[in-house]
Amino acid sequence: QVQLVESGGGSVQAGGSLRLSCSVSGYTYTNYYMAWFRQAPGKEREGLALLFPGGGFTEYADSVKARFTCSQDNAKNTLYLQMNSLKPEDTAIYYCAAASKYGLARLLFPEGFATWGQGTQVTVSS
């Protein structure tokens, strides 16, 4: 069973950078979609980056495409989200999530992801 633990959140000024980590256990990277989502107060959960099984392709939401980069280190069983040029509207709780490659994994459909981390808070001040 896949288990996910996020870390790396914090407070940063606008224009700054943060790198989030998601430690993964019980995971065979060729069998799962991995993704980053976020949820701001009063808003729906938003998909940010979707890493396809095997890591050969990553899809990004338009809102973060030019600023965020998702990667994985298979040797460390860790998924990363490098966030640059942060804006106050990026303030949210950030989650990593996993979905079986046989399921429905889409950035617009968080219900398709069966496993979630506990989340890490990112706060961007102006």
User: Residue 30's pLDDT is what?
Assistant: 80
How confident is the prediction along the chain (126 residues), in pLDDT tens digits per residue? 889 999 999 999 999 999 999 999 987 778 899 999 999 999 999 999 999 998 789 999 999 999 999 999 988 899 999 999 999 999 999 999 999 988 888 999 999 999 999 999 999 999
Q: Contact 27/17 with Cβ under 8 angstroms?
A: no
| pLDDT at site 2 | 85
Strands 120-125 and 10-13: parallel
Q: What is the pLDDT of residue 71?
A: 93
pLDDT value at residue 114: 93
- The per-residue pLDDT for 64 is 95
pLDDT at 102: 87
CB 37 within 8 A of CB 98: no
